[in-house]
Structure 1
Amino acid sequence: MTSEQALAPPGRGRAHWHTALALAVLVAAAVLARHHWPVLENGAGRLAGADRGTLLAGAAAAAGTWGCSALALQGAVVRRLPGRRLVAAQFAACAANQVLPSGLGAGAVNLRFLTRCGMTARRAVAALAVKTAAGALTRAVLGAGLALTCPGMLRIPQVSRTAVAVALLLACGAVLLTVSLGPRVRRAWSAVSADLRAVHARPRRAAALWGGSLAFLVLHCLVLIAVTQAVALPLPPARVALAYLAASGAAVLLPTPGGLGSLDAALALGLAVAGAPAPAAASAVLGYRLLTVWLPLVPGLLVLAVLVRRRAL
């Protein structure tokens, strides 16, 4: 098996499993939403009376995330990418990510964009893997830094024995899967590590990769902080940022389109654990989704159509 095959996107069978799991999570989210409808309705009413100026600041932070994503992707690639098309592709990828589960929409758009820029499929997939790894590591370091510098900020909720047993079973399954895919994982990591070395041999590219990844997360934290301030949620900004980092990291494990349902539940839980009342947490989640998903969705799909029409994708 070649390194290109080792880094190839998931096949049709795996995509079917992703879709089935996404539908299951969405159905569960719908059931929970129906069960907690009074809380959601109260949260929507609270959001309607939120401070418009603070929400506008949050919208500006949300718009900046596309530029940060473009900067991180440029940092993962040695060759120079066309700047305007790169930012437009990130805007379109954000919209496509709301349609397909587990980041497949954004990955497909970016993969197509990089190959249109003259990169081979192997190099394009490796670049996306480098960008994803940098984002995950940055999230972990930033979250750990917040937790360590603010003692007592992280409240650990009581967990039932059933939840612990399920978590252990999932961990064992992940270990067994990693062992069974050992040769493929090693080949994929060998290809990605080669690209990592090439990127870090250029200080500008390394700075763009890590700086863009960090700025992307910080701006998303600022969006949520702005929404919590707009709805007068009584939480300090550092605690809100830590709740976002923990929730977004947990939502990656559930492959729903754009994290719909999984991120919402994890974010509401994170804010509630941090000390927010349920209606206020619901309004904050709704406001965050409004600024990062629903408002940019239609313009993003239009940009995606234009890029396809112009053969940029």
Structure 2
Amino acid sequence: MASGFVRLRGADPAWLVAAGILTVACWLPVCLLRQGTVLEPLPAGRLFASQVAAGSANHLLPAGLGAHVVTLRFLRSCGISAPRACAALALYSLAQPIGRYALLIALMAASPDASAPGALLPAERGVLALFLLVTVGAVGAALLWCVRPLRAFVQDLLSTALTDARALHTRPARALALWCGAVGFPALQAAVMVAVARALQLPVPALDVALAYLTATVVAGIVPTPGGIGSVEAALLPGALVLASLVRRKVI
């Protein structure tokens, strides 16, 4: 920690400012992505504030559940029914990793000589992640098979989500917001890491930094932990303040 702070004091302030600006900008594609999951126009200011607050709540529960809870309450406050709000969350959960994987594959294809994700992680971790993924899937399938009310709920949710997804893709503006947000969010996150690496004069190519970061986020998604364990964002404190303010004003 001490050596890290010493290194930080010698960081390039211009690159640190750029990293801060990019961090704030990360909320913009998230707002686009959220808007792209519903047909109704959402109030831009309240949407942005809700996503700042969601970033704080996301550190309390694993797998993005905190952000989903905040967003669900926000969508309900905008007059969207509970089934369609849940369907919007399902579509978000599908589009977001697709955008991240697509960006990772595109960067790997753009520079085959860059460090491959497989070289960044031991094979044992990949096997463990696959095992956990299969285990969670098997448990989920067993629950759906044994618990009839849960199975009916999931079926209704998927039916609503598919109906809304088809309707959204008939409107170019919504489809553009959905997929631009899905790709733009991880791209800006990777850009933040590159800016910090440049500020600290790390002798690592920018593409390698981006690939390493995107690979780490993919693994974190497979093995979820509260807040990504160790990747606490600089926006945690302001996000918590915004979350409390929105709850008091009954926006969420």
1:142 and 2:103 matched: yes
Q: What residue in structure 2 maps to residue 58 of structure 1?
A: 19
The alpha carbon displacement at 1:167 in A equals 4.7
Corresponding residue to 1:74 among 14, 35, 48? 35
Corresponding residue to 1:233 among 192, 202, 206? 202
Aligned to 1:157, what secondary structure does the other structure show? helix
Deviates more, 1:142-151 or 1:252-261: 252-261
Structure 1 CA distance, aligned partners of 2:49 and 2:65?
18
Alignment of 1:267-286 (within 5 A): none
1:190 and 2:159 matched: yes
Structure 1 CA distance, aligned partners of 2:32 and 2:122?
42
The alpha carbon displacement at 1:299 in A equals 1.8
1:96 and 2:35 matched: no
1:203 and 2:172 matched: yes
Cα deviation code 1:24-54 (max 9, x no counterpart) = xxxxxxxxxxxxxxxx443333123211110
Q: What residue in structure 2 maps to residue 26 of structure 1?
A: none
Structure 2 CA distance, aligned partners of 1:178 and 1:146?
33
The alpha carbon displacement at 1:102 in A equals 2.4
Q: What residue in structure 2 maps to residue 308 of structure 1?
A: 247
Deviates more, 1:148-157 or 1:240-249: 148-157
Q: Which amino acid aligns with 2:250?
A: R
Structure 1 CA distance, aligned partners of 2:110 and 2:31?
30
Q: Which amino acid aligns with 1:177?
A: V
The alpha carbon displacement at 1:298 in A equals 2.1
Structure 1 CA distance, aligned partners of 2:16 and 2:177?
28
Aligned to 2:227, what secondary structure does the other structure show? coil
Specify every segment of 5 or more residues in structure 1 that has no aligned partner in the other structure, as ranges.
1-39, 265-288
Specify every segment of 5 or more residues in structure 2 that has no aligned partner in the other structure, as ranges.
146-150
User: Against the structure 1 CA distance between its residues 165 and 115, is the aligned structure 2 distance closer, same or farther, given a 3 Å change threshold?
Assistant: closer
Q: Is the 8 A contact 2:37 2:92 kept in 1?
A: yes
User: Against the structure 1 CA distance between its residues 122 and 162, is the aligned structure 2 distance closer, same or farther, given a 3 Å change threshold?
Assistant: same
Q: Is the 8 A contact 2:59 2:66 kept in 1?
A: yes
Aligned to 1:252, what secondary structure does the other structure show? helix
The alpha carbon displacement at 1:218 in A equals 1.2
Structure 1 CA distance, aligned partners of 2:122 and 2:22?
38
Structure 2 CA distance, aligned partners of 1:81 and 1:168?
38
1:87 and 2:87 matched: no
User: Against the structure 1 CA distance between its residues 57 and 308, is the aligned structure 2 distance closer, same or farther, given a 3 Å change threshold?
Assistant: same
Aligned to 1:258, what secondary structure does the other structure show? helix
Aligned to 2:168, what secondary structure does the other structure show? helix
The alpha carbon displacement at 1:105 in A equals 1.4
Structure 1 CA distance, aligned partners of 2:192 and 2:57?
21
What fraction of aligned residue pairs are identical, expressed as a percent? 41
User: Against the structure 1 CA distance between its residues 175 and 309, is the aligned structure 2 distance closer, same or farther, given a 3 Å change threshold?
Assistant: closer
Structure 2 CA distance, aligned partners of 1:160 and 1:111?
37
Higher relative contact order (CA 8 A, sep 6+): 2
Structure 2 CA distance, aligned partners of 1:88 and 1:308?
11
User: Against the structure 1 CA distance between its residues 173 and 254, is the aligned structure 2 distance closer, same or farther, given a 3 Å change threshold?
Assistant: closer
1:46 and 2:7 matched: yes
Q: Is the 8 A contact 2:129 2:222 kept in 1?
A: no
Corresponding residue to 1:244 among 199, 204, 213? 213
Cα deviation code 1:191-236 (max 9, x no counterpart) = 3222211111111000011112221111111100000000011111
Aligned length: 244
The alpha carbon displacement at 1:127 in A equals 0.6
Structure 2 CA distance, aligned partners of 1:240 and 1:252?
18
Alignment of 1:152-231 (within 5 A): 152-155=113-116, 156-157=118-119, 163=125, 166-167=128-129, 169-177=131-139, 179-181=141-143, 184=151, 188-231=157-200
Deviates more, 1:159-168 or 1:299-308: 159-168
The alpha carbon displacement at 1:59 in A equals 0.5
